[in-house]
Amino acid sequence: MDELDAYSRTVSAVAAELTGKVAAVSTGRGSGSAVVTGEGVLVTNAHVVGGSTGGRAEFVDGTRVAVRVAGSDPLSDLAVLRAERPGDLPAPVRLGDADRLVVGQLVVAVGNPLGLAGSVTAGVVSALGRALPTRSATAARVVEDVIQTDAALNPGNSGGALADATGAVVGINTAVAGIGLGLAVPVNATTRRIVAALLADGRVRRAYLGVVGKPAPVPAEVAERHHRRNGLRLAEVIAGSPADRAGLRAGDLVLDVDRRPVQDAQGVQRALFAEAIGRPLAVTVLRNGAMVDVVAVPTELG
């Protein structure tokens, strides 16, 4: 009974802290939830705002605030809203770090499912490191390190908060993947960079390398010598791409990009933000048993 009481107290405390800071958002293209993350700033999903330029945020206390879309990034499924009257927003949430989550950890989801404002559900982190395919008009990508939870998520939860037991927001709920299976974009260093770029520029500039691959094990002798188990096996190098011009080939096993270890496609994506555009990028691959270094110069993803 004590354990149940402790659990209930934790969920209730998180709910009390967050329900007033998660709004129901309606735009010309869709509806969902949004989280107050800064002075006059809310974060939601890109698929919630669609192509809209503005809309309205409504809080559980009845406060209604006109908002405009400051920036949207379909490839991360994140969007940033600015309130027309910043002073009408409640204090922002505390942001946590999803990179510190562990499977089995308690999480609480706050949002507006099915139009029911201020709804709270609880569950655990079911899995970490999931990948969520996303697409824009010109490119496709996977959102890395997505959080999987069994906290009940329904239409309208998108853009809402996923918080840990301390009330720190560690994810932005994004999708219902099935019965008892919800997904959230992690709040981590990458997410913070994306939100900062959207606030500053209204978009996220990314570099383009031109490779397609999947994780593959590193041969035992190489793994022991270089202290890694996996790399990215290139299945395709796009003709005429920066990777092609640099001499990368299908079958290469990518071990490092920009002198940092790579184990999957997400590892490559981490190196391909705006600062990589037009800058020589060192790529180390294993080819026919030999280590090969090439230098690619990424272009801007259009």
CB distance 40 to 67 below 8 Å: no
Query: Alpha carbon 163 to chain centroid distance?
Result: 15
47 annotated active-site: yes
Provide the β-strand partners of residue 67: 55, 83
Burial class (CB in 10 A: 0-12, 13-18, 19+), 64: exposed
Helix, strand, coil: what percent of the chain each, to 5?
A: 20, 45, 35
Phi then psi dihedrals of residue 221, to 5 deg = -65, -35
Check 33, 47, 256, 264 and give the catalytic one: 47
CB distance 157 to 168 below 8 Å: no
77 annotated active-site: yes
* Pairwise CA distance, residues 238 & 240, whole Å: 6
Check 52, 126, 158, 241 and give the catalytic one: 158
Residue 125, C-beta contacts closer than 8 angstroms, at least 6 positions apart: 101, 102, 103, 104, 105, 107, 147, 148, 149
158 annotated active-site: yes
- Read off the tokens for 196: 């900062």
CB distance 194 to 210 below 8 Å: no
Contacts 24+ apart (CB under 8 A), 224-229: 226/255, 228/255, 228/261, 228/263, 229/263
- For 40-83, what is the HEC assignment? CEEEECHHHHCCCCEEEEECCCCCEEEEEEEEEECCCCEEEEEE
Give the three-state DSSP class for 252: coil
Give the three-state DSSP class for 112: coil
Check 73, 77, 145, 258 and give the catalytic one: 77
Q: Active-site residue numbers?
A: 47, 77, 158
